[in-house]
Structure 1
């Protein structure tokens, strides 16, 4: 990124978790993307993409049930251009309110993200707005890669992770992490890609050996709710240069992980982020070691705490009731 370009994202803390380290038997480092100004990692890629187009930017339109929309609205406000965010009807009222607080125009269209996205693409044409994709664009991945560069700088030259733990929705974070691992020369570090059952477009593609579209999103982790994973994420899963382990947890496990994380680390994240945390709390890491799919002993575990703007205590209580926890 040029020295003159204003950076919208923060260099987020890399925090050691004593509680999680005890559980997995190796040091666990948390990359706290929840502390970004927009509440999630999305601001890295979206900020980077908007900067590249800043010359011709009249306004932006983004389709998102949450985090990408928040990032686009934040960046647009900072750049002094209007933002229209198209969200599906499944988005919590809390998200709509937060988007409006950022000064964005919110349009509610369809039931799932794919419906909202079709409307965003239409508006980009008719209103002459710049379309900001939530996860499927090389500039996004390039922006997201900066989090791994920061981790490498924090850990220093003599240390690298034993594995990286990420949540997968549409695959933008996964592509960014892989790009980042390439940038710092850590291509041999395995990646554990986590989804919830019912929002598992990446896992379904890996199993089928081709990109497939889910009939519906049945998980409560709405921010993982893309019905089709981006092609690049799938291509990485088929490529022998990287070890990508695709795993699923239940909504209940993801929500319990959110609660445990709140208790232990004093941070509230959304269920989409809970999917990655659940790999630690549910014993999945040890299971993968037992199956020989992760090394024993394992080097430090890097957990991307991707964040989330669609959660508050009221929403947490609602989810607990709904999932009968």
Structure 2
């Protein structure tokens, strides 16, 4: 049994016409927890359960926390999620719907995470949002599914936050013999920890996250993601918040699927026909999702920019 589903792979007529190339969408926004996160977190939770874990602990009020809560409910394991005071009521409501215990602590994810770590007992498993080899192994199944479909893209476009999806996708490319396929790693200005690492030649910690795409708001990208930037053809792309928000609205009109600004960052590269796409005629875009996003949040964000 796997906790994730095999998601649709479709060609987008509107995005293909807009960009002048074939654009294929891997629709992981349709995962039961609302994002790609359930691939890796589901695998990690199953693995931890087999090793004797009796409770799952998370420190994310976003997609990772929701994936842990969903996995725990499906596996019959209690889940505690510690979230900062900035977490939206919508996110807390979704976590509670999945029967998770929600603890609000601190003004930042760092404070919430430190408190979550203090709760860990010998029979508990802590599920990191992005920095765990089990997660990357699970996220790699996304590429396994594309490989089985018979489609080989010229490039993969995806969003980068902490680097878990990037690490998993590249692991999937390599284990399917596609180590030659480049990846366009997209971030928004104000949350570009991967771009900062690439430019510096080592991981660096951002002073603060100023982007509206809070799901991309890891102040430091994981070491594995940075290592892949040296061992695999990865191109770092940075877009504006406005571009990401506009892409969310266009995607909702085109495909009737609402995604968060973090996902909109990747879509913006295609909608705006970014120069980085120039040499590719057949691209795969990972539509990573966003369970807590609402239309009002997207529109309010656009008005404030």
Residue 123 (structure 1) aligned to one of 119, 124, 129 = 119
What TM-score results when the alignment is normalised by the length of structure 2? 0.96
Give secondary structure in 2 for the equivalent of 1:227: coil
Alignment of 1:83-232 (within 5 A): 83-125=79-121, 128-154=123-149, 156=150, 159-232=151-224
- 1:113–1:225 contact (8 Å) kept in structure 2: no
Alpha-carbon distance between aligned partners in 1 of 2:31 and 2:254, rounded to the nearest angstrom = 20
Q: 2:260 aligned to 243, 254, 270, which one?
A: 270
Task: Name the counterpart of 1:283.
Answer: 273
> What's 1:79 paired with?
75
**Distance of 2:84 and 2:24 partners within structure 1:** 34
Alpha carbon RMSD of aligned pairs, Å? 1.3
SS in 2 for 1:9: coil
Post-superposition shift, 1:25?
1.6
Q: What is the aligned residue count?
A: 304
Aligned to 1:314: 296
CA distance in 1, matches of 2:250, 2:138: 30
2: CA distance between counterparts of 1:253 and 1:65?
A: 25
Following the alignment from structure 1 to structure 2, what is the Cα–Cα distance between the partners of residues 30 and 169? 19
User: Against the structure 1 CA distance between its residues 95 and 229, is the aligned structure 2 distance closer, same or farther, given a 3 Å change threshold?
Assistant: same
CA contact (8 A) 2:189 2:238 kept: yes
- Name the CA distance, whole Å, in 1 between partners of 2:21 and 2:190: 31
**Contact 1:28–1:300 (Cα < 8 Å) also in 2:** yes
In structure 2, distance between residues paired with 1:250 and 1:91: 23
Kept after mapping to 2: 8 A contact 1:65/1:222: no
Contact 1:86 1:106 in 2 (8 A): yes
Paired residue for 1:250, among 228, 240, 244? 240
- Equivalent-residue separation in structure 2 for 1:123 and 1:319 (angstroms): 35
Tell whether the 8 Å contact from 1:146 to 1:180 is kept in structure 2 after alignment: yes
Q: 5+ residue gaps in structure 1?
A: 1-5
Shift of 1:283: 2.3
The structure-2 alpha-carbon separation of the partners of 1:133 and 1:283, relative to structure 1 and needing over 3 Å to count, comes to same
